Amino acid sequence: AASRSEDRESLTSTNQNSTSVTVSAPNSATAASVISYAKSFVGVAPYVYGGNTPSGWDCSGFVQYVFASVGIGLAHSSGAQAGAGRAVSSLAQAEPGDILANSTHAAIYIGNGMVVNALNESAGTTYSSVGIAFSGGYSIRRVL
């Protein structure tokens, strides 16, 4: 079981463009806190294949990092993340904070058919519609 302190310290990371990213980790493992934390990286954290820190991460590294901030350990593989937690039967049943993943991509559902994800090198960490982020099938997994 993971332990969480009551007070979380701010995390500062410098990405490859020497841009400093400072965000405060969530105090609780709620969907709202996870989504807020994930959104704080939009536009500032670059996509780097194999990475799993705000200095540069790929899709599954981003999901892994965000959930680790609230004490939830996930593998650094979108395929493994597609089997984490409990299955959700359809996008209509998905809730903000669920993970969408398949063998090639992973993202965090934020509602209204949208995800936050590390999409690719040109977009970096961004918002996408589910249809843009996933061209094929995907699993919806609830870990919170």
Which phi-psi region, left, alpha or beta, contains residue 110 (left: φ > 0; alpha: ψ -120 to 50)? alpha
Which residues sit opposite 101 in a β-bridge? 106, 139
The amino acid present at 92, given as its one-letter code, is A
- Residues tagged active-site: 59, 105, 117
Phi then psi for 34, rounded to 5 degrees? -65, -45
Q: Model-level pTM?
A: 0.83
pLDDT in tens, the chain (144 residues): 333 333 333 444 444 444 445 556 566 779 999 999 999 999 999 999 999 999 999 999 999 999 999 999 999 999 999 999 999 999 999 999 999 999 999 999 999 999 999 999 999 999 999 999 999 899 999 999
